[in-house]
Structure 1
Amino acid sequence: MPPLEQELQRCLQEADRYRLLAEQSTDMISRHTPTPEWTFIDVNPAIERVLGYRAEEIIGTPGYDLFHPDDADNLKKRAESVRYRRGMYTNVYRFQHRDGHYIWLETTSRTIRDERGKPMEIICVSRDVTERELAQQATRRLARVVEASSDMILFCNHRTLQLTYMNETAYRTLGAERENLAVFYLNQLFPQDILHTLVEPALQHAALYGTWYGSIPLYPAGNPGRIAEIREIIAHRNRAENMQVEYYSIIARDITLKRQAEEKAKRQQLEMAHMSRVLSVGEMATELAHEINQPLATIINYCNGTFRRLDDGQITEVGQITRAMELISTQAKRASEIIKRMRHFVRRTEFQRISFPINETCVEVTRFLNQEAIDHDIRFDFDLDDSNPFIEADRLQIEQVLLNLIRNAIEAYSECHIRPRPVKIRTRIEGRRLLVTVADEGPGIDMDQLNTLFEPFSTSKENGLGMGLSISHTIIESHSGRLWVEPNGEQGTCFHFQLPLKGQA
């Protein structure tokens, strides 16, 4: 065979191989005019799988008309989706399917030129990347959400505990700058005791069960005065390989404003509680004055009697004077104790959680109300738990609640002639909580009043402000407890409140 024929046959065979490759390819291979219309000249059968057209339907169609309006001029504008390398352009864009919807194509194109450099045609290889683009869009949207989140979001290496990513809120809360290339580790953010007792167990829990929820305090050293807390940790696993933890997502929140608001509310509550105590003492002024007058009158009587006996010469030994002085001293101490209790009750204090026995507190409050009980012919009946339970709370505030409830029980008898007039005070342990009950046998409370009893300014007293029970309710709730009321059988009223026992708050 002559050499020319052999070369021609070889070229035909090579062309057939290329044609076979093009026809069998899953990528769409197409030829286009080098004009702005980008008209289809030829295309392989893969177009039917990619765009839904048969080859004969699309040939002669301007490809430009099928671009999404926002992507049609990507190449001219050199959009971010366009890359150029070694004479080839790669463009990611939306193209219209035969059914009318748009799909994402990634096309690598090259312009074929003649010997003079004039464009002859454009060869394109395109593939459907819709799933990839939608996944990337979702990732980008998620990244924008993460970056704009008001929560602190941090990614942490599960082995080194290095923070590999922090969103803008995390940088701001920690007092760091994104431009600063400082490397953060979890052990830099927490004291050793919190790291070992709270953070590491939380990471271990997330590694075992996927997530951890709770509250771990975080005080950023680079931003003094700020307070944050870790609320959630998520363990992300390598699902493609061995299902081992790859990294943790840590979600935290800056709670500085919340804490400041809580502190402000606490101060307001303390002020309201103090005002309530002062008002209570004001309402008891007559009884307190009478109670103080009794020892003072006794002191005067002892002094006057001693003077008379001295003038009459009836006292001849020092021992007789000593006895009188002992009696005077006893009454002075009694008056001093009354004033001391009153000053203790009305003083302004900060919230102080201490451990104390509730039985002793109940008895102490009734001593403060001793004169009022005498004036109203009240008898205190105690039924106190034999185990002498302790609670952890602000003692002064719990005393105030008891005082309000016991005074209400005393006043319940003011409009009736019931005799005897018991006020029953009972303490019991119920599981991990303490139950305190103050009950009377008065005429009871109307059902209409029961619904609004703990609301501010709700009162049936002529001169009352209606704040005592409202403040008591707030105090008990702030101690993780509950205060409620219920009828006492046929007549009377029972007030109950529950508080956590010592060590159970």
Structure 2
Amino acid sequence: MAVADDDYDARLDAHSLEQALLGSILATVPDALIVIDMRGRIVSFSAAAQRMFQYAQSDVLGENISMLMPSPDRERHDGYIDHYLSTGEKRIIGIGRLTAARRRDGSTFPIELSVGEVQDQGQRLFTGFIRDLTERQQAERRVADLQAELAHASRVTAMGTLAAALAHELNQPLTAIANYMEAGRDLLAMPGDVDRDLLGEAMAESAAQALRAGEIIRSLREFIRRGETVRQPEPMRALLAEGAALAFIGVDSRGIDMDVQVDRAVDKVLVNRVQLQQVLINLVRNAMEAMQDRPVRILRLTAAPAADAGKVEVVVADSGPGLDPDMSRTLFNPFTTSKATGMGVGLSISQTIIEGHGGRIWATASPWGGAAFHFTLDRADEE
């Protein structure tokens, strides 16, 4: 009997040690751990989760996990659980995804979510490990900004060299045109009959020099076009989610009903990831600023097969005041803006990037009376 008691005590000590070790790990791991039951109620909330979401454990135990989510996931989460329990279809479990979370003060921040499932004495629980991506994405954004600044400095230098070369190359034909035209004017001003042959020669030479100037510009344009954008296959859903998350950094996103919808037929697109994120950041931030004083703020990022074969159409739509009809024709021109502090180059840069990807960009009215910006991208060849 004493031996049995010793075995029991040993098992009890081992269990206590295991629990203490697990508690120590959960108290120090930087990622937040949240455990919920089948009804979505929080049953465990780690120390990291308390720091991340600014809630004490006593504030959230027994509450629905949706309190930590922004719209539209807040309203849909219980439906996600019911769908999984009834169909067994795993949309997040064991897969993980990039999404957004909501702190106690209502601010939204980007996260990486990994969800698991565990059976405990007949009860099914779901575990969620959450990593705050704010610092990582800010660092990535800073690196991208530095790269953009270096690229801009390089372009400015190249443009200076190009301008000098262009001025040098065009100076000769323009000077010749001026000389021939002045000679023609002098011939017309001379008394007596006009020497039509000489005048015709002057006009012909002027036309030839004008054509030469045009050829110089065309050759330089072709030279510039050879510097093609480096593109590679990227998953469409991740691009949209990351682009929206980056746009949300440092911006008050409370009250925005945001959703990302990607057609099942769309998988990967052929893009330069950093450049496309810049387009998405421009469009999403424009939408958020447009909706700043609106009572209903809806933001939708969608992607679906385009009418053009081999293309994907992406739409960023909002419920803002819509586009000014007077600006619609010059919307993508540089330095065109309705913002008091804007420079009006964001849409022009976006157009340059999209056209550099072989696509096009345009704007229409959204279903909610706001603006909807559409652009097309090449689908990645699966082979």
What is the TM-score of this pair, normalised by structure 1?
Answer: 0.37
**Greater RCO (Cα-Cα under 8 Å, separation 6 or more):** 2
The structure richer in helix per residue is 2
What is the TM-score of this pair, normalised by structure 2?
Answer: 0.47
